[in-house]
Amino acid sequence: MARPHFQRTDPTPGLFLALALLSAIPCAARGSGPTPVVLDLALAPPSSVPVYRTRPLDEAALAAEDADREAAGEPYRFAVAEPVVLTPQSSGRWEQPTARHRVWRQRIVAPGALSLNLGFTRCELPAGAQLSIYPTDIAGPDDPRGVRVFTDRDNDGHGQLWTPVVLADDVIVELLLPWYAEDDFPLELGSVNVGYRYFGEDLRDKSGSCNIDVVCPQGDAWRREIDSVGVYTIAGTWKCTGALINNTREDAAPLFLTAHHCNNSMNTAAPSVVVYWNFQSPVCGQHGGGSLDDFQSGAVFRATSSASDFTLIEFDDPLDPEHGCTLAGWDRRDLAPRSVVGIHHPSTDEKSISFENDSTLITTYLTTASPGNADHLRVGDWDLGTTEPGSSGSPLFNPEHLIVGQLHGGYAACGNNLADWYGRLYTSWAGEGTPDTRLRDWLDPVGTGVETLSLLDPGNPEQAVTPTAGLAFSGIVGSDLTGLEGSYQISNIGINPIDFRVEPSVGWLTADPAEGTIPGESQVQVRIAVNAAASGLPAGVNTATVAFTNLTGGLGSTSRPVALTLLSGSPRIAALGPNPFSEFLEFTLILPGPGTYHARILDLRGMMVRDFGHRAAVAGENTLGWNAEDDRGRGQAAGTYILLVDAAGATLRASFTYSP
């Protein structure tokens, strides 16, 4: 249908304010935002909106295909895609409910469908625009079947928008344009995805009864890890499980680990990913009742490899703090955990947790030979719970609560004691040797080389102190030491402000600032300086600690050691050995300041044996060695020798014995 032209006029102040407020509403693709126009403005009845009716599904044929897919270990399919080309310029209906609003609507009907979700293959909403998808007989903004609203904040570089499901077979696509929006922008509905298997609907067709809801007491020790796991759809038709995973920047980058076999073309399919957080039963044992309201849409591909069956994507929007997501820690060591826990969405239903109390086995996929090609971990059987199709890609945790792999496949089910196999994070770390086939570049972007990394909770006030090493100073007894200083950075790696305090354990150290507040995702530099009180310290190593305390919750509180080495005011030979020696002698000269020293070796007759010449010296320790040869490289006879050193206006002597 051709698009009508509406005359634009200057807005009244009140309407301009209303539209400004509309464009400032938070992004709905991350689970919150404005409501459809139909709830606020008088629009024509739904019966007047043009209908696109999908083709009927052959349920028997789909069931046969799904059985074959499951036997082949392919991902869980819940919907069938129907390609379309529907745009505001070529279909639907336009109307103008007010002088300052234009609305386009298109109705989608799929008789008997359990759900509908849509793929906009071109979507660049102009400022102030609002795109909504909702049941045609919408029952208000909180309709439990799903009300999905998007704004220009949901535009992404890949130019696509894939929606979460609406649990209805008759939906409206509604586009609101403010008076000032340009007519020329891309919006094309390219895929209508018709749900024929249950996803968030009633209690029929649910996962096996042996599954353990994560809300049950068995999950109490794993609450933080549970919050990292999500169920997701690809191209509106396939479903799998995956988990947010932390990286060494600890910047809450929304990296998501899943299985390669869930979609072996994720390098192009990532924009179509829609993930659902917190889809879990509200009551232990219910195996249902979960909400699909917490979602986000769209991702970019990072890495994949079929050998260990991993895929890593990164969502193209930051995590919504209201969803309470965490980013799981990981362990890339070459170990077989002595026990494991799996957190997953069986049949992609509400989130469950499973326990294996026996050791895993390093092996080849679907075999028992160990180590085999060593790219999988075999879970012999689950002592509590199980896995099912749809659990694919879910994380496997070791006793330290760190991810060691993701589910590839296996034979486990309610009622049997059969095995599952998980692709090893150890193998995925190096992958096939390139950034797009390995995890290393993404999980350790700063190149720390660490083998384990803890979970990150962006919503919890947590601090990180860098560097991890202590401070070491040196000086001369009685001298001015106030120029000695170092610094640490305290980073707030959460989204909420934290209060901090820095306390040296001794009076001769000063922290600046000693306390303060750090906004979310920000840093502060703290100077640790030696003060005038150090002038009374004795020679030797004086030690202290500096405590960095997170006053808002305590996470990340830590301390760092400080050592102040003070030298006496005159030079001395601090060490000489071994004595006697048979092959090599080493001596250490302590000097009060930089300069030069002259070292020689004499025999007991006073004859020169070795002249080391004049050497540059530093304040503190200076080390030199002798291999029992003279200046011409000739070996010396056994006996007693004299070390003679001229330094800082003094001559130092020490004797030693050569006993080859």
- Locate the DSSP E strands across 345-419: 352-356, 361-363, 376-379, 395-397, 402-410
Distance CA 338, CA 362 (A): 11
Chain centroid to CA 166 = 29
SS3 478: coil
Three-state DSSP class for residue 615? strand
- Closest CA relative to residue 564, chosen from 537, 589, 588, 590: 537
Query: Is 309 among the catalytic positions?
Result: yes
CA 44, 49, 52 angle in degrees (round to 5)? Answer: 165
Q: Within 10 A of 203 (CB to CB), how many other CB atoms are there?
A: 11
SS3 71: helix
Relative to beta strand 101-109, strand 51-53 is parallel
Q: In the numeric block, which tokens belong to residue 565? A: 């080495």
- In whole angstroms, how far apart are CA 78 and each of 97, 299, 377? 38, 20, 28
- For residues 441 and 444, give the distance between their C-alpha atoms in angstroms, rounded to a whole number: 6
Q: Give the Cα separation of 278 and 612 in Å (integer).
A: 73
Strand, helix or coil at 40?
coil
428 close to 308: Cβ distance less than 8 angstroms: yes
Q: Are strands 329-331 and 402-410 parallel, antiparallel or unpaired?
A: parallel
Residue 658: how many other CB atoms lie within 10 Å: 22
- Tokens at residue 459, please? 């919503």
Instruction: Identify the three-state secondary structure at position 208.
Output: coil
Task: Report how far Cα 460 is from the mean position of its chain's Cα atoms.
Answer: 15
Instruction: Indicate if 132 belongs to the active site.
Output: no
Catalytic residue among 261, 287, 345, 408: 261
Q: State CA 149 to chain mean position distance.
A: 27
Residue positions counted in the chain: 660
The active-site residue, picked from 392, 394, 428, 491, is: 392
Choosing from 152, 293, 309, 316, the catalytic residue is: 309
Closest Cα to residue 403, out of 553, 211, 255, 253? Answer: 255
* Pairing assessment for the beta strands 471-476 and 558-567 based on DSSP bridges: parallel
* β 238-244/229-234 pair status: antiparallel
Contact 641, 658 (CB under 8 A): yes
Dihedral of alpha carbons 284, 288, 291, 292, sign: positive
**Closest Cα partner for 113 from 31, 70, 189, 54?**
54
| Residue type present at position 284 | C
Q: Which two tokens stand for residue 391?
A: 């659990």
* Residues annotated as catalytic (active site), given as ranges: 261, 309, 392
